[in-house]
Each structure stands twice: as structure tokens, then as C-alpha cells.
Amino acid sequence: MSGHFHAVVWIDHHEARIFYFNASDANEIVVRPKDPVRHIHHKANSIGSGHASEDYAYLQHVTDALADAGAILITGPAGEKKVLVDHIGHAAPALKSKIKGVETLGHPTDGELLALARKFFKDDHQEPPRVN
């Protein structure tokens, strides 16, 4: 992607914001599902849970966007971050070992998200291998 080793993703059902970054620079990727999920409430005496099924194409696009990361922090406000971790475990098992943390996080600005990620990885000084 950008030559940065670290990546942070903030994800919910409506979008995923992914940043590849270092201490002074960042590159952003935004992934959105084809049809954003609307909140569905369970109705008494109805069949099914009332929850929409997961958008696996969306999760795969996010997984693909994270493929070049050396270390990943996954964040978000609700359960979609766990769904992403599970999807990565099934679809890209080698990538799952690069997930270094999963944090609950409301709706941060891009600056707040990057500040959190830089603090999370502050002692991890790894950089991508140089290509000659």
C-alpha cells in the first residue's frame, strides 16, 4: 500500500476507515458496503432475530485493504469489529496474526483515531522492509 508497517481500522456497518501510518504520515482508505445495513429491530411473534445478515463482500474488501499491514489495530463502536476479526480468521488466517489489538471506540475524528493508533503502537518501531 503506502510502505507503512502499521494500520488502524475503524469499522461499523456503514463504513470502514483504514489508515496506514507512521509517526508523521498517514494514508487513508475508505471502504463502504454496497448496500449499507439499516438498523432492524426484532418484532414480537416474528420469525428470525430481526438482525440483518453480515455483508461478506464488504468484510472481504476491508480484509483486502489490510493485506499489506505488518501490525493492525481494529476499532469501532459495536460488534462489527469482532465480526471483522472472525472474517479475517476464516478468509485470511495469516493476516489474523497481525492483529495486535481490538478496541471499542465511538465515532472519532480521523485525527483522534490516528492519535490513538500511534499511542497504541508507540513502542513498536517496526517499519516495512526496504525494496532495492
State the CATH number of the domain containing residue 67: 3.30.420.60
Is position 84 within any domain? yes
Is position 41 within any domain? no
The mean pLDDT value for 11-26 works out to 95
Is position 48 within any domain? no
Kindly tell me if the per-residue pLDDT of 130 is higher than 80. no
Q: To which H or E segment does residue 59 belong?
A: helix 56-65
Is position 24 within any domain? yes
Q: Residue 83: its pLDDT value, please?
A: 96
Is position 79 within any domain? yes
- 104 CB contacts (<8 Å, ≥6 apart)? 75, 76, 77, 81
Is position 131 within any domain? no
In the chain, % of residues over pLDDT 90: 70
Domain enclosing residue 88, as ranges: 6-33+54-120
Q: Residue 89: its pLDDT value, please?
A: 97
Q: To which H or E segment does residue 71 belong?
A: strand 71-76
**What's the domain count of the chain?**
1
Is position 92 within any domain? yes
Is position 132 within any domain? no
The mean pLDDT value for 62-85 works out to 96
pTM for the model stands at: 0.83
Edge to edge, the sheet with strand 26-31 lists 26-31, 16-21, 6-11, 71-76, 99-104
β-pairing, 16-21 with 26-31?
antiparallel
